[in-house]
Each structure stands twice: as structure tokens, then as C-alpha cells.
Amino acid sequence: MRIRDLLAETFSAIRANRARSLLTILGIVIGISAVIAMTALIDGVKYAMVAQLGLNQSRLVMINAYPNGEPLQRSDLRQLEKGMTDYEFLTGTAGTSSSVSTGQVKLDGIYTNGVEDKYFVAMGSKFAEGRGFSEDEVDESALVAVVSQGLANKLWGQDADSVVGKSLSVGNDRYSVVGVLEDANGYTTGNETLYVPLSTFQTRIYNWGLDQVYGYAREGADLDTLGERTKSYLVSYYHLTGEDADGYVYIQTMKSMIDQLDSTMGAFQLLMTAVAGISLVVGGIGIMNMMLTNVTERIREIGLRKALGARRSDITRQFLLESVALCLVGGVFGILFGYLGAWALATLGSGLITSGMGMQITPVVTPSTVLLASGICIGIGLVFGYGPARRASRLDPVEALRYQ
Amino acid sequence: MATPVIETQNVYRIYEGAAGYTPALRGISLTVPRGEFLAIMGPSGSGKSTLMNILGCLDRPTTGTYRLQGIDVSDLSDDDLAHVRSTQLGFVFQSFNLLPRASVMRNVILPLLYSPVDPRERELRAIKALRAVDLPEEYWDHGSNELSGGQVQRVAIARALVADPPLLLADEPTGNLDTATGEMVMRTFLRLKARDKTVVLITHDAEVAAWADRTVHIRDGRLLTAEEERAFVERTARGARAAAGASDKDAASAVVPAGPTTPAPIAGPREASAL
Ligand SMILES: Nc1ncnc2c1ncn2[C@@H]1O[C@H](COP(=O)(O)OP(=O)(O)OP(=O)(O)O)[C@@H](O)[C@H]1O
Ligand SMILES: [Mg+2]
């Protein structure tokens, strides 16, 4: 029997039992919804993180080191770079909040970050306009600034044509703006951030060491081992011992952050997996039940088809395809409802899941998720449809034709 | 002589049921050459449908052999039998067995789904078959549950013709038809015969059987011998005379409807037009 004929038979059989088919696939719908909602949310959170952190950050090792309670200085970084050759560079930042003003607008509590030129490379920053700092500007404590798009909007309004070249004041100093960063950049900073060269920051705004050091790993380096080695290097470099080591040096990588996220989501994932698993099994049994009813109802039809020349495999295929098609219909609804459910959950719980990260989660349904769901549906259709289909194919044509 | 289309030797079919063993066929030996139009007559329960199931490769003899086109079908696997059914055989079942939710057209096309016939040819063949049984075109899109008994019967016959099989088996194909339509079906069978097809027809009706080249009688799972048949013919003829005389007491004892079973000259035209 040809595939097209089989599909036509399947379609008309399902259409003939529309109401019953819809009720039967409910379990599959719920199961697939759970699978989709779960993966869409988790993928959404991961995407949001990657988007927020930038691709380059997957090569970042975040180093918080206060050997003996003292912060690192720029000069320390250059020493450390010589010792740890797995990093392309190390770059540090220092920050505080300050008041920023133009002639017209004055904003308080703006997070102000002193950074080196390579900071923007490490963060994979994208500039809406202008550029980052040059090495010279950092070395010479130039009075230049980079603002985030959010800050630019607050200072000069949404529809300011160009911000580069305008000036702003912090304290008694006037800075000229050289670049505007696209939003969603850097996880330590909110939407309104001011960047100035690190040296300028330390001499004019707040004289303190480095809050945070970023190591930018060489291409292909394994971040986990690099993190470990960085820690032990720092421990021996600063002669730290025992408990001091843990207290003074804290290393984090992108991967460890995602691991952390995974464990946060673990409970949610477990719950959804359980819901999905149970409803898929129940749904599968429902499908099997319906297929058995179908076979019994259509015994004469099966006998007739066999009498007219259908082989066992033709009958098996016909009924298997029917149960697979039922499950796939359930899957389609499941994907739809799952996606909607993920939106609802994301809206309700986005504060909860991402508290402190300030991210907006958009549920993401990837092709691989759809493929997974379809695979599950086909699997259930085959597993639970096999028994009924086999029963149908083994019916004796004479007895089947006599069946009342 | 060429290989006969049907050749059975001493075929038994014993059913195992709640009431014990029922021997529905008890030593049937029957040979049907290619191009013959054979009628099988017998009272209800005599084993006609059982025989047809075996001739149609739907069922296997309990003992005895059955050769279809010279091939011993008891050696064939289920799938091979399915192939034989789809390529060699056309069935008209006693209970017709149309798919109730499918249209007339789909019902007629059904056997072609399992045959090697090119899908583009299906509709054309179905139209030819439906024309051959004279079902008006307006019914072709109707659901088969919207038809009269006679129309259902004609669709069932069209379905048996559609794959153009060399052997047609028909179990009471004219039971629900009026005389004119019944005759039309018989003429269709004659046309098949003229194209060297073999037709086996099961019937209660001697007038219908009279269209065939030859009639065999089955009683309690056995074919009547020539001698038994002669006796039977005489008995029936006497019964008919008695019935015509006055009392219907004797007529009631006649097992089959009165009427000559000797092959009557066929009244219908025998022109060999294509299906
Ligand atoms: N599946 C079965 N199981 C048990 N007994 C059966 C079965 N099928 C038929 N029989 C018996 O075999 C005998 C012959 O049945 P069959 O159907 O061949 O008769 P028939 O000649 O076709 O009768 P009718 O003219 O009424 O259709 C009957 O006695 C019937 O009860
Ligand atoms: Mg019968």
C-alpha cells in the first residue's frame, strides 16, 4: 500500500472519530505541554543570560581577589598576566555611584564604572554609537566617558540624534562622551551606567582598588581548570594559607553560573518532568484503549480489506499510522499550549526565577525542542499503537467478515 | 487440456465451535476450466459460503487440496495468499460488506489500494466497473449507507470487477435485485466469460443458475453425483407438477425452488463487449 493512500485512510479515520480522538489525545496534549513549557522556559532563561552577558563572556573568568583584605591594583594585573599565560589579558574595574549632570538634567545614584580599554572587549560590548576607550586615554586619565543607551536617554532624551561629543559632569569635572553602549550589557550593571577610564575614576571620582577582575581566556581554554589554576596561582602568589585562601579569592566562570542556574531550576524541571511523564503514560494508555476500540469496531472492515488483498503489514501500518497521527495531533496542540503556558509562567514568575539578574525572559521554542516533542509523540504512538495494530493484522479474514 | 482455474480434491472443512465439530464441507472435488461460468446451488447451510471462502483463498481446507491456476495454495503464506486475492480474485460477498462511511467511489477503488494498479488509473477503472453494473452516476459520490439494497449489491459487484481479476466469485449477487437488474448482472457475467474470465456464482435461484454454463448442487457439504442429480431433478419436477396440480404440501418438501436446472438455452445476447 502506498504512503499517500495510507495517509488518506488515516486522515479519514481520525476525522470520522473527531470527538473521541480529541478526548483521547488530552493526556498527550498535557504531557507535551509540560515538556514544551519546561524546555521553553529554561532555554529562555539561558538565552536571556547569554544575550545579556554577551558571547565573549563565555570566555570570561571572574576573579574577586582581596589578598589579606586589600584590593588589587592595575599594576598587580600586569604582574599576574605574566604568570598566567592562559589569559589573553586581565582587566579590572572599580565602581561607585555618583551624581551625573548635563546643563539641564541632574541624575543621582548613577552607577559609575572605572574601566580599562579592554573591558569592552571582554564584555563583547556593542556600541550604538561611537567607541570605547583607547589605551592612551586610560593611561593618561582622560576626561572621556561612555554611557549606556539608558543613561543617554535619561540625560538627553529618547530622540537625541547623536550623543557622541556632548558633555556631562561628575563632581567638578566635565567629560566628553565618546561612545554609547547598546543596552543589556554587562551583568553587574543596570540599564543606566556611566563608564570612565579606570585611572580617571581612581584619581577623580573614588580612589579605591579593583572591585572585580576579569580574565579573558585564550581561545579554547577549559574554563573550569583555568579557574582552578587561577585560584591556586593567586593563593601561592600572595602566600595565602588555609581559610584565608577561600575568604580572599573567589573565582566564578560563565559555566559555573549556568550550573548554578540549572540547580535552581532543578526542582521545577523535576516537577515538570514528572507531570510530563505521568500524563504521557496515561495519554499513551488512552491511545491504546482508543485503538483497541477502533480495531473492534472495524473488525469487518479489516476482514474486508484482508479479503481484498491487504497484507498483514498493510493493516499493521494503517493502524500504527493512525495512532502515531493521533499522538502527533496531540503533540501539535501540546506545543501550542506549552508555549502559551511558558509565557504565562514567565510573566508570573520572572521576578522569582531571575531575582537580582534584572532579565526579561522570553520563552524560546527551538527546532530541537519541537523535534524532541515530535519524537516523543511518534514514540508513544508506536509503542502504544503496536499491540492494537498487531491484533488487527492477525485477524482471520473469514471470522472478521462474519463478525457482528 | 490447459490447467483448470479451480481444482479441488476431496476438500473437507470442519469447523470447531461451541457445539462441537461441524463438517461444513465433506469431500468436495470440483474442477472448473478457464472461461467457464459455473453456478453452485444448494439449500441454506449446505456449505456454499464455506466453499466460496476456500475457493477465494480466505480459508484453508481442513484436509484435501486446492489448486488455483495450478498452484497448491495450501503451501502459500498469508502474505502470498493476500497477493493471490488481490491479483487473481474478485469477490461479491453474501453480505456485500461495503465500508459504511466511505463513498461509492472509494468503496469500488478499495481493492486497487492493495494491487499494483497505477493510482492514476484507479478512477477510470472504477468508472468502468460502475458503468458495467449500471449504477447511475449521481450515486457515485453518495455514502454507501445512503443506497438501496439493490444499489449496494451493484456497488459490491463493481468492486469485484474493478481489478479485472481472472476469477470472479459471487455469493448470491442477485438476491436483492429485481428481475431486470438481475438480468443485467447476469449479462455482465456473460461478458466476463466471453473475455475468458472464470465466474463462480452461488445462488438459491434456479432461474439465475440457468444463465450459467453448468450447475453443481451441494447438499450437506457434498456435491451431488450425476446420478443423484438426475434423481433430484426428477423429484423436483414431480414436486413442481404436484404443486401446480393442487396441494402445496409436496411443493414444500422440495428443497430448492421449483424450476428446471438443466442448462436452459441462454436467452440473453452474448455479444462480447468489453466490460
Ligand atoms: N465459523 C463457523 N463456525 C462454525 N460453524 C460454521 C461456521 N461457518 C459456517 N458454519 C456452519 O457450516 C455450515 C455451512 O455454512 P455456510 O455458511 O457455508 O452455508 P451456506 O450454504 O452459505 O448457507 P446460506 O445459503 O444460508 O448462506 C452451517 O451449518 C454453518 O452453521
Ligand atoms: Mg452463505
Q: Is the dihedral of CA A67, A70, A71, A76 positive or negative?
A: negative
Cβ–Cβ of B101/A304 closer than 8 Å? Answer: no
Residues of A whose CB is below 8 A from B56: 307
Residue B44 CA to ligand 2 center (angstroms) comes to 7
The pLDDT, as a whole number, for residue B75 is: 84
> Which residues lie across from A91 on neighbouring strands?
A214
CB atoms closer than 10 angstroms to residue A89: 17
Closest by Cα among B262, B273, B263 to B213: B263
The pLDDT, as a whole number, for residue A41 is: 83
Q: What is the pTM of this model?
A: 0.69
Taking residues A241-254, what's their average pLDDT?
A: 77
Would you say A143 and A197 are in contact if contact means Cβ atoms under 8 Å apart? no
Interface of A with B (CB under 8 A): 1-2, 4-5, 12, 16, 300-301, 303-314, 397-398, 401
On average, the pLDDT of chain B sits at 85
Taking residues A238-248, what's their average pLDDT?
A: 76
Label the pairing between strands B63-68 and B37-41: unpaired
Taking residues A196-218, what's their average pLDDT?
A: 91
B243 vs A: CB within 8 A: no
Nearest CA to ligand 1 atom 26: B44
Give how far Cα B223 sits from Cα of B28, B29, B53, B72, B220, Å: 6, 8, 16, 21, 8
Cβ–Cβ of A5/B113 closer than 8 Å? Answer: yes
Q: Is the dihedral of CA B3, B4, B10, B12 positive or negative?
A: positive
pLDDT tens digits along B63-73: 999 999 999 99
Domains of chain B, each with CATH number or no CATH = 35-48+78-233 (3.40.50.300)
Would you say B173 and B182 are in contact if contact means Cβ atoms under 8 Å apart? no
Q: Is the dihedral of CA A371, A372, A378, A379 positive or negative?
A: positive
Would you say A7 and A321 are in contact if contact means Cβ atoms under 8 Å apart? yes
Residue B49 CA to ligand 2 center (angstroms) comes to 4
CA-based radius of gyration for chain B: 19
Taking residues A41-67, what's their average pLDDT?
A: 74
3-state SS, residue A62: strand
Would you say A222 and A162 are in contact if contact means Cβ atoms under 8 Å apart? no
B58 vs A: CB within 8 A: yes
pLDDT tens digits along A343-355: 888 877 655 544 4
Cβ–Cβ of A12/B102 closer than 8 Å? Answer: yes
Our separate counts of H helices and E strands in chain A read 15, 10
If one residue of B11, B12, B15, B204 were mutated to test the ligand 1 pocket, choosing by the most ligand atoms within 8 A of its CB, it would be B15
- The dihedral formed by the CA atoms of B86, B87, B90 and B96, expressed in degrees to the nearest 10: 10
Nearest CB among A310, A313, A398 relative to B53 is that of: A398
Give the end-to-end CA distance of chain A in Å, rounded to a whole number: 27
CB atoms closer than 10 angstroms to residue A299: 18
Closest by Cα among B179, B220, B173, B178 to B200: B173
Closest by Cα among B176, B200, B208, B162 to B32: B200
User: Does residue B48 have its Cβ closer than 6 Å to ligand 1?
Assistant: yes
The pLDDT, as a whole number, for residue B266 is: 42
CB atoms closer than 10 angstroms to residue A23: 12
Residues of A whose CB is below 8 A from B99: 301, 304
Between CA B180 and CA B182 the distance in angstroms is: 5
Atom of ligand 1 nearest to the CA of B204: 25
Between CA B240 and CA B251 the distance in angstroms is: 6
Give how far Cα B178 sits from Cα of A227, A368, B158, B159, B264, Å: 95, 64, 17, 20, 20
Buried b (16+ CB within 10 A) or exposed e, A51-85: ebbbeebebbbbbebbbeeebbebebbeebeeebe
Cβ–Cβ of B114/A397 closer than 8 Å? Answer: no
Q: For residue A243, is pLDDT > 80?
A: no
> Which residues lie across from A148 on neighbouring strands?
A181
- Residue A109 has what DSSP assignment? E
Q: Is the dihedral of CA B255, B261, B267, B271 positive or negative?
A: positive
Within its chain, how far is the Cα of A123 from the centroid?
Answer: 18
Lowest average pLDDT, out of A19-33, A364-378, B258-272, goes to B258-272
Between CA A332 and CA B32 the distance in angstroms is: 57
Closest by Cα among B228, B223, B250 to B239: B250
Per-residue pLDDT of chain B (275 residues; tens, 9 = 90+): 688 999 999 999 999 988 889 999 999 999 999 999 999 999 999 999 999 999 999 999 999 999 999 999 988 998 999 999 999 999 999 888 898 888 999 999 999 999 888 888 999 999 999 998 888 999 999 988 888 888 898 899 999 999 999 999 999 988 878 888 888 889 889 988 998 999 999 998 888 999 999 999 999 999 988 788 788 778 877 877 777 765 444 444 444 444 344 444 444 433 333 34
pLDDT tens digits along A141-161: 999 999 988 889 889 988 888
Atom of ligand 1 nearest to the CA of B46: 21
The pLDDT, as a whole number, for residue A359 is: 57
- The dihedral formed by the CA atoms of B229, B235, B240 and B243, expressed in degrees to the nearest 10: -150
Between CA A308 and CA A303 the distance in angstroms is: 9
Give the end-to-end CA distance of chain B in Å, rounded to a whole number: 27
Of B166 and A268, the one with more pLDDT: B166
Closest by Cα among A303, A277, A265, A309 to A399: A303
Strand ranges in A231-375 using DSSP code E only, listed in sequence order: 249-253
Between CA A89 and CA A117 the distance in angstroms is: 11
Taking residues A74-86, what's their average pLDDT?
A: 87
Q: Is the dihedral of CA A368, A372, A374, A379 positive or negative?
A: positive
Phi/psi region, residue A218 (left: phi>0; alpha: psi -120 to 50; beta: rest), is: beta
Amino acid at B196: D
Residue B7 CA to ligand 2 center (angstroms) comes to 21
Cβ–Cβ of A311/B82 closer than 8 Å? Answer: yes
> What is the full DSSP assignment across B20-53?
EEEEEEEEEEEEE-TT-EEEEE--TTSSHHHHHH
